[in-house]
Amino acid sequence: MTLYTARKVYNPLATKLGAGRPTSGHLIRFSLVGDAGGSAAQRDSHFSIYGDDPDIAAISQFPDAAWDPAQPDVGAMHGITWITMADLHHDATGHEPIAAVVCVGDVVFLNITLSSTIKHIVRLDGEDLNGVTVLVMSLLNHFPTLREVCWADDVTRAGRDRADWSTITNKCKIRDVTMVFGGQRYDQSIPGDELALGALGLVGGSDDPNRRRRMTGKRLMKYKAGGAALAERQMPYGWCHKKDKHGRSVQEGNRGLVPEAQPEMAAVYASLYQAHADDETYQDITARLAAYEAEGLIVRRDHTDLDNTFARTLGDDNASYGAAKSFFCRSDSNPRVIPSDLDIARYLEGEDPAEVFDADVRFFIAKVELVRTGRYFRRLNNDIRGRNIVLDGIPATYRDDLDEYGYFDVISAPWEWPTDDQGNEIPRFGVPDRVCRQVAARLLRELRAPKAPTGGQAHHAPTRRALQCFTSWLTAPGTLGAKYDDEATQWGVQARVNNSGRANLVLLFRRQSAGEGSRYERGWSYFGSGETKPDHIDATFSLTELEASVAHHLDRGVQQLLDPSSIAHLTEAQHRSDDPDPTATWRHQITLKLSDKKPLEDEAKGHRTMAAISAGAGDEAEARAYATQAAEVAAKVVALDADIARLEAKISKHESGTPSLRHDRADVSVAVHLVAGLESAARNNGESPAKFGTLCDETFIDWRFHVDGEDVVWSCTALLPLATGGHAQLPLTGRIRNVRARTGKSLATTDTVVRYLFEEGRDLTATADLLQVTRETLLKKRVMPWLVANGVTARGAKCALVDHPIPEVRRELHRWVTRAADGSTQPSTSAYTERLRSTYTDPDLSWGDAAVPDDTAWIADAIRLLTADTATRRHGLPVLDVALALGKSEHEIRELVKPQRRSAGFTRPVYLAYANQAKTHVKAVPCPHGRCRGRRFAAHVSLLPEVAASGYGVICSHCRRTPAQDGAWPVTQFPSAYLGRWTSTGGSGSLREAPRTIRSPR
């Protein structure tokens, strides 16, 4: 599988760029994501320059709503597709729309809202990448037909970074693509144009560093001078922008926006700071804030949700905790090193925090120190790339040797205190210095050392849970899994570890409304007002059982893909739901062609009219000229009609849903790796290498779980990479135990054991390990009683089934037993399946305590010796020669020809035949069936009960039949799995302790 196309474009981006063949690329860029006004102004400027191009003119008629990422349906009606950062590169993250692309005629148009200098894509194997540059380079690579790329007259719209500018211009030069700025064309094959373009690059490249230095320096100066330099909703509580009599924010000199204290907040601060110092919970403090909010003394400041309130968080412990904590400190400013108890004690005793704490700690308690001292410790992120940057006498601080930007720490000039009605200052809003220090000390004591990421956050830990990426889903009222009649039920899965350390998962549910937060989906700690988590746990299940079940069903699914005799349910992965409907583009093209057709029809009609008038006036030459023009225009109309018919046919075909035949190959090597990895994780308490876990996250999607009796039924979709790109969807589903329904440590039910061992065909050891019991316990208490109850009574039959190396044998027996038990109609059977049933339900079956109760390795060596060449196969070898070659006695070799009763409780079948009447030579048994007769031999050893029932212990590797010719044996063909090689473990031992049948070493 490859993540990129042959043209080196990331597959998701290539899909969204489409398969057109444009010759002209047009790009507009505005630096701020989501700034509709700025982006619209850039488009208008571009359209005014290139409006003479009919395709650009058509694009300029799109409504503004079409360029709004919040209304993708409107854009789709005009053929616009939205691109996210994650679409650009495999290391890019973020699903917010950052660019729109549309193809109209010969033009591909990109509307980009990204900075051309920020390195958006962080790479571990090289320099970080700018998103605009990656998008432009991908555009040039994806469309080899491009002959020009056009920007507005501002060269900085193409790029401000010299390296990125050079990358784009070099690509255009190599591809012979003309660069156009403001209508001025630069063909780099012409030396003068190349020189002029280089000069433009110098302007753009030097513009950005100078601009950034000016802007950052100005902001830093405002910080030092005590200016707000923030939107009012981002300022600490208690201050707002100073305003004039008309309510407009005031700006003063170097300070810019001026902070002004709010006297009404004095009572709020005194109450909240004292409550915090008295160790009142944050939930109770939020209740106080909600009360002050109701009185109009405070308004919650949330610049991301202007309607957010403190009252909205009541009843949600997590939300109310965060709301209260934000009053005292910044939630995203936890220091990297936690201060010691001694340092906190020194601070409480009155020492200057600058002498006690490092800059990170001072930044964390900056809001409290602002209240205590009136001076705000602020941090400004530096956006000037480079080391040893100094602005206004303040050097940038760098986080480590790899940091190329850093930040500036500055302590502001004093902010004014509030004043009372008499104009007297209220220092610290009336809060004592000691209380302020106690508030800061509590905040610092609550800090915890950052934990190494685990579970769902294992970004760099060496191991993690293999399966952990389970997204929430909804079930509508009246459907499977619905818990409520009046609204949808939201479901989720959460990790849990039980007291013994076993990794489990819990299935949770709640009302859809309970999961809707003010901005994001709530976490699974909140289930509604007055609701508790235990009441919303629907099931608990083992992670190891889930991983083993997924591995088993994925393995079976892949085997079906590889087995030509079975039908595998495999579909090609559809485009994501947010991708536009292609018919919108086709309909838009039809509209454009119809608008072109009408004036042409009118023109042709006019030419014909003038031809008739000229002919009536006797001017034949003029009449012929008009007639020729009418024919030329009519030909254009016919061509447009053909294009419209072709587009209408495409729409009709798409809407009919008739898929076209596509031959492709799924890369099952990934699935094989996943099966092995999941089986390993199931044996390791669910843990796997972190990279393998990431592969599982990408492969298994659309997880669903629901409770069915004492079990949990799971389903998901496995994405298998296709050889030609994209993915195929392989649906998987299985059933595992709901351990929440178990009483204490009771043994798994018979149904569960039978499902794992027989229905799914797992081996006994794996089943015992999953259920945390011994093989002996399962055999005595669950397996053997079930077999007897279902007609398998012979000791040898029971042991052989449990020990059988071919899982399909157990699965077939289970299908037959379950259909007989529920009275359903038995499907058509083959001679092979009838042989299985008659063999294992035979109460007189005499067999050993294993599926393969004898050493077959040396017997296979004997047959290989006797089939080494044509002469040997035909005439055989002396018994003595074979015995000497194998280190056996002549008697042992002759036992392979004549069935012998064995002490293990079964009769050894026939493996060889005598080659002459004197019985001095032996040979392989010829295959007597069909086209094999006289050509092939039954040379594959298969000592299993259903094979040995024929009297032979060998089958023909070509037709997979035994040499028996009586009864149904000539039409009994064994599956290809019987061509495996197995032998007995030999020696003493019991099936209760370990398998007795193993793969043959040779």
Lookup: tokens for 395: 């050097």
Q: What is the pLDDT of residues 423-446, one digit of tens each?
A: 899 999 999 999 999 999 999 999
Tell me the average pLDDT of the chain.
84
Distance CA 998, CA 59 (A): 70
Length of the chain: 1002
Residue 160: pLDDT over 70: no
Lookup: tokens for 109: 């148009």
How many other CB atoms are there within 10 angstroms of residue 788's CB atom? Answer: 12
Residue 566: pLDDT over 80: no
What percentage of the chain has pLDDT greater than the value 90? 41
CA nearest to 507, candidates 481, 488, 529, 544: 481
State whether residue 236 is helix, strand or coil. coil
In the chain, where are the structural domains located?
Answer: 11-189, 232-376+412-445, 584-656, 857-999
pLDDT at 163 (0 to 100): 76
Top pLDDT among 608 and 49 is at 49
Please report which helix (H) or strand (E) contains residue 706, including its range. Answer: strand 700-708
pLDDT at 247 (0 to 100): 85
Please report which helix (H) or strand (E) contains residue 795, including its range. Answer: helix 795-803
CB 265 within 8 A of CB 238: yes
pLDDT at 603 (0 to 100): 82
- Local confidence band at 811 (pLDDT 50, 70, 90 cut-offs): confident
Q: What is the pLDDT of residues 702-757, one digit of tens each?
A: 999 999 888 899 999 998 877 655 677 889 999 998 888 665 557 788 888 888 88
Residue 664: pLDDT over 70: no
Residue 567: pLDDT over 50: no
Residue 207: pLDDT over 50: no
First to last CA, the chain: 35
pLDDT at 744 (0 to 100): 52
CB 142 within 8 A of CB 9: yes
Please report which helix (H) or strand (E) contains residue 112, including its range. Answer: strand 107-112
CB 216 within 8 A of CB 384: yes
Alpha-carbon dihedral 299, 305, 310, 314, rounded to 10 degrees: 170
| Vertex 954 angle, CA 952 and 955, to 5° | 115
Sign of the torsion formed by the C-alpha atoms of 885, 888, 891 and 894: negative
For tokens 């001095």, the residue is 920
Residue 386: pLDDT over 80: no
Residue 837: what are its φ and ψ, rounded to 5°?
-65, -45
pLDDT at 897 (0 to 100): 93
Q: What is the mean pLDDT of residues 800-815?
A: 90
pLDDT at 238 (0 to 100): 92
Residue 179: what are its φ and ψ, rounded to 5°?
-100, 130
Distance CA 778, CA 549 (A): 19
Sign of the torsion formed by the C-alpha atoms of 893, 899, 900 and 906: positive
Lowest mean pLDDT among 163-167, 169-173, 212-216, 529-533: 212-216
pLDDT at 183 (0 to 100): 83
Residue 96: pLDDT over 60: yes
- Local confidence band at 578 (pLDDT 50, 70, 90 cut-offs): very low
* Cα→Cα distances 934→870, 937, 951, Å: 12, 8, 21
Distance CA 589, CA 586 (A): 5
Q: What is the pLDDT of residues 579-597, one digit of tens each?
A: 445 666 677 678 778 877 8
Residue 247: what are its φ and ψ, rounded to 5°?
85, 10
Give Dmax over CA atoms of the chain in angstroms: 133
Task: Specify the DSSP class assigned to residue 837.
Answer: H
Lookup: tokens for 767: 């089943």
Q: What is the mean pLDDT of residues 868-880?
A: 92
Long-range contact set of residues 117-124: C-beta below 8 Å, sequence gap at least 24: 117/160, 117/161, 117/208, 117/212, 117/383, 117/385, 118/383, 120/85, 120/92, 120/94, 121/85, 121/88, 121/89, 121/91, 121/92, 122/91, 123/91, 124/91
CA nearest to 698, candidates 727, 734, 722, 675: 727
CA nearest to 49, candidates 156, 203, 175, 185: 185
Q: What is the mean pLDDT of residues 475-487?
A: 89
Burial class (CB in 10 A: 0-12, 13-18, 19+), 520: exposed
Question: How far, in whole angstroms, is CA 853 from its chain's centroid?
Answer: 48
Lowest mean pLDDT among 386-395, 455-464, 798-807, 966-975: 455-464
Lookup: tokens for 437: 């220090």
Q: What is the mean pLDDT of residues 245-254?
A: 85
Burial class (CB in 10 A: 0-12, 13-18, 19+), 9: buried
Q: Name the H helices within 53-155.
A: 54-60, 72-77, 131-142
CA nearest to 252, candidates 216, 220, 233, 228: 228
Distance CA 926, CA 911 (A): 11
Q: What is the pLDDT of residues 602-654, one digit of tens each?
A: 888 888 888 778 887 888 888 888 888 888 888 888 888 888 888 888 788 77
CB 454 within 8 A of CB 462: no
pLDDT at 660 (0 to 100): 46
Q: What is the mean pLDDT of residues 330-345?
A: 87
Distance CA 105, CA 102 (A): 10
Alpha-carbon dihedral 881, 882, 886, 887, rounded to 10 degrees: -50
Top pLDDT among 402 and 984 is at 984
Q: What is the mean pLDDT of residues 546-572?
A: 73
